[in-house]
Chain A
């Protein structure tokens, strides 16, 4: 059964303090690993898709990387507006996404 574990559950940073979020996964035949951002009371917002180990993608202050067992979401010089829950999901042998519980990020000014 496909599984995703995210750590830490919650992370507090000061504005400008860079850090990384971890997503460990087990999946049969990875077709894609996805990162989403979710604000309270809203649906997940798509950020990145990674398909194979060694792949990296960047968007503004965010950079996602992928190995055969885990993915990292690096946040460089975060701002308060980056505060949200970040969700990681994998897609294996079927169409469904299997999500982790997320990391709640708070960036203090």
Chain B
């Protein structure tokens, strides 16, 4: 399977704990995105990398959230001191800027439940 992969698929944690999610984009895709989706809503943008550089961050991304893409390949999203409001599906997407092609391809998501 050459699609976007995310791990873990599910994570249950207690309030106040730190969690880290991993995303492996489609091979050779130079752009990587993180979104968050809650029930009944569309995905909301969190942050975006071009290669290893983090170029855009949403105001939704509080100081407790940090994302990295150290070698321009996989990416990690860490949430520190989790709160119940962080419960959501965290989606990763990747794209490759080709001739007019801006499509973002999404992974299966990591569902986070904070108890």
Contact = CB atoms under 8 A, between A and B. Distances in A.
Report whether chain A binds chain B.
yes
A99 interface: yes
B21 interface: no
Contacts, number: 59
Contacts of B101: 49
Nearest to B100: A51
A4 B109 CA distance: 22
Kindly state the interface size class of chain B when it binds its partner: 20 to 34
B45 A97 contact: yes
Nearest to B55: A95
B72 interface: no
Interface residues of A, number: 25
Interface string A77-95: 0000000000101010011
Contacts of B55: 95
Interface stretch (B12-20, B36-44, B63-71, B73-81): B36-44
Contacts of B105: 46
Contacts of B106: 36, 43-46
B28 interface: no
Contact of A49 (B33, B58, B102): B102
7 contacts: A36-B106, A43-B93, A44-B43, A46-B104, A97-B35, A101-B40, A102-B42
Interface of B: 4, 31, 33, 35, 40-45, 48, 50, 55-56, 58, 91, 93, 100-109, 111
Given A4-B42, A98-B45, 16 more contacts: A31-B102, A36-B106, A41-B111, A42-B108, A42-B109, A43-B4, A43-B108, A46-B103, A49-B102, A91-B102, A95-B50, A95-B56, A96-B45, A97-B45, A99-B43, A100-B42
Which 7 A-B residue pairings sit nearest by Cβ, starting from the closest? Answer: A99-B42, A43-B106, A96-B45, A44-B106, A32-B102, A43-B109, A43-B108
